[in-house]
Each structure stands twice: as structure tokens, then as C-alpha cells.
Chains A and B, each alone.
Chain A
């Protein structure tokens, strides 16, 4: 698993990358009540706002962690946004991306580095 400073995690799954938010982020957001997912086949650049996530407290964006194409989204989150709080690292993934070059993941944080960030 790789991590970004925006509290997203990335997991390689075959030739795709699965993206979600960390437990730390889910806890900080509080109870998630609404998730808006991107369209599949959207080509995104690192830092693009791709999802909206609303908790009882506020709205936040999920940014594309790297350049690539959104090839699949987790529709279960639209029906059951609370899944983000229940299982952020597992069943509550947000989208899968196709990357030109998986080696860009090498620049991201590993678990130890991420844990140090959130201290």
C-alpha cells in the first residue's frame, strides 16, 4: 500500500491502481453521508478533484493521486456512504485507475512514512 499527503491510499491490483482514503482521513471527516463519484473513462491529472465526500460536518474533495484514467468506480459508496467510516481500507475503495507507468507510485509514501506524517 502507498499513501499520499492528502490521506489517500493506493493499492496495485493487476495492472490497475485502487484508490481510497485512510482510516485517519475517515475519522477526521466524521460520519460520511454522501459520496459523488467520477465518470468512468475520465482522464485525470494529479491533483484534479475527482470525488466529493460529504460528512455530517462538511464537504471535502478527493483528488486524483496520480495522472491516469478512471476505469471503475465503487457504486456501493453512493448507496451506502457510511461504508467509508466502517471499512475505509477495504470495501470502501473509491475508484480504480489505469496508469501509463506504475513506477510513479515509487515516489509516494510507504506505511511507515505515512504514519510518521499523521504522527
Chain B
């Protein structure tokens, strides 16, 4: 293992549970435990899985003046309605660049007197610099470095967590709350990235191992590695930054139009005014040139990232950006970008795997129905 990789606060716990540690986004991360990706995936869908996502960036935007000024300044970085997020609620967003591409996708929450932001590990240094450059007049941008982040996901996540933190039963999808456990404050959101009901829990570093062990002591809970995290989010049709979305893909191409609220669209109360608005508003009005779609190979061979896609007449139409095997679907699944004319569900295409063109079809996402507690 390279010397310059960072270690998670829970490193020893992962090793104690037999985690196979691999480099990811500059950290040593558990890719799987002895149960293996398939069992970990299916366990999360059937009961509850615990994920260490402490590599992700937690940031507080602390207003120097009013909350509203910070919300408006934050809105200037995203095609998202920040101002309209009620206290105690979280929303999905994405930083865009001047050409309408995506710098990172993120979650942010209105916590009354400040905004709490969670960003991707690989982008966090750039995100913090970006926010510091654009928000410093109205907010202090404070990276939270003394807390770990855990995700507990699955249909039995609520039952398991409620034994430790009873207040979570009151929360619904995308609520955030600060609730006590063992004398410390847990920052909890009812969200995640698996398509399942579940929670993300920010816990002080000093208590992180104790809290993780208390969760793992619950009969429903099993530790889950990055491998299953990837197959779970793929089945849920969720984008992985750097693969399915990047600085060249616009939110409209990526099928993230649902994350652009009315207030920021043409005719909205605060239309435009975010980086790349010209392209993004044009694509909203006239349609993008390409679209992210779900893909179902017809055979058993997985079609992985970078698989080239072709129309029936052999015209190149796009590429797979994430692909593999869906354990809950029990079949290969993928997502990728195709030219707009080939994005209709049911469109039959071919993917080139090891020199052979194999059939696949454009399919609806999510592949696996979501079970969020709305």
C-alpha cells in the first residue's frame, strides 16, 4: 500500500472485520469484507448495511450575516433552489462550471443558522477552494475534519438505529436532525446512495469506532465495502462522479433535471444566474444532444465502463459510463450516454465487448425500485 494514502479513523475496525483495503480517492478503503460483494449487496437490500464514508468531505457554511445571503450566494454556484430548502431538510445539488459541466455533486442541508454540505472525497479539496473563493464574503467555509461519516442503509436500518437513537423514527426521507448518542451529538440525515431507506450519520472521530461497533452489534447490521456500494448505487440508477458525470456532462444530459427546481429554470423566481446557465437553460428548452440512460445487456456478459455503443446500423452512438452485474436484478446492468435520438426506453443497441458486438436495450432507471420513506 502506497505510503501517501490517508487512513480512515475506522481503519483498525475495518481490518478487524476482515476488510480488504484498497486505494480509493486517496484513502485506504475497504472494498469488501469476507462475505464478498454479492452477499454484502443482498444483505443491504434485505436487512441493513453499514458503510464508512468518512472519506467524503463535510463542510459548514457559517453565515457572517444572514442565512439568506449565504443561501443566495450558494445558489449562484448551482442550478438548484437553495433558498427554498426548509430548515431541517436536505437537498441534492451540483456545482456547475462556465460551460455547464459538473464540478461535483453534493448534498446540502438547511440546519437553521448554517448550511451543512457533504461532497465527494476526490473533489473535496477543489470544492472547498471553490466555495471559499465564491462564498467568503458572506460565509465562513469551515471543513469539518473532526468527524467521521457512516451510512446505514437498508429496510431494517431504521429498526437498528432506533435502538441507539430513538428519535430517528420521526425522520422522513431527506430530513436532517441533530440527535444525542452516548453524550455526543450525531448529525443525521435520512438519505444515502443505495436506493434504500437509510441514514447518513456524522459522528465525532473520538466516538466513531464506539458508535460503529454499537451499530454492528445490532443483529440486522453487517459491514459493507465499496464494491457493494457501487453495485447498489448502480441498481438505484445513481451517478458516480468522475464516471457518469464530470466536467463535460451537463445536469440535463445526465438526467438530473429533477434536481433543477422551478425557481432556477426559465420563468422561475430566480432563473439562471449559475455557472453554465446558457447551456443548461438551452438544453432544458431544446433538449440535450446526448442523454444518460439505463442499459440492459441481453446476454449474461457485463458491459463495463468505456464499452462503446452502436446503433443497429453500426453508427457509434455513445459509451457505457458505469456497468457491471446487479446482484438484486441477477443480470448485467449499465448506464451510459447515447445520442438523443437513441435514448428512448426499449431502443436496441449493440455494445462492443472483447471485439464482439452484443445486443442491449435502453432501459428505465432505477433498475431496482427505491424504498425511501417519504
Contacts and interface: CB of A to CB of B under 8 A. Distances in A.
Contacts of A81: 300
Contacts of B31: 57
B312 interface: no
Interface in A58-114: 58-59, 78, 81
A34 B227 contact: no
Given A56-B325, A56-B327, A34 B302 contact: yes
A31 B302 contact: no
Interface residues on A, range: 10 to 19
A57 B302 contact: no
**Which interface residue of A30, A58, A81 has the most chain B CB atoms within 10 A?**
A30
Interface residues of B, number: 18
Interface string B38-54: 11010000000000000
Nearest to A27: B36
Given A54-B301, A54-B325, A56-B231, A30 B332 contact: no
Contact of A30 (B37, B302, B304, B354): B37
A23 interface: no
A59 B302 contact: yes
B324 A56 contact: yes
B37 A34 contact: no
A57 B37 contact: yes
Interface string B144-166: 00000000000000000000000
Nearest to B39: A31
Nearest to A82: B38
A27 to B, nearest CB: 9
Interface string A45-56: 000000010111
Given A34-B301, A34-B325, A59-B304, A52 B354 contact: yes
Given A30-B38, A54-B302, A56-B231, 20 more contacts: A30-B32, A30-B37, A31-B36, A31-B38, A33-B302, A33-B332, A34-B325, A52-B301, A52-B354, A55-B37, A56-B37, A56-B38, A56-B41, A56-B324, A56-B325, A57-B31, A59-B302, A59-B304, A78-B300, A81-B300
> 10 tightest A-B contacts by CB?
A31-B38, A33-B325, A56-B37, A34-B300, A56-B325, A54-B302, A34-B301, A31-B36, A30-B36, A30-B37
11 contacts: A30-B36, A31-B39, A34-B325, A52-B301, A55-B37, A56-B37, A56-B227, A56-B231, A56-B327, A57-B31, A57-B37
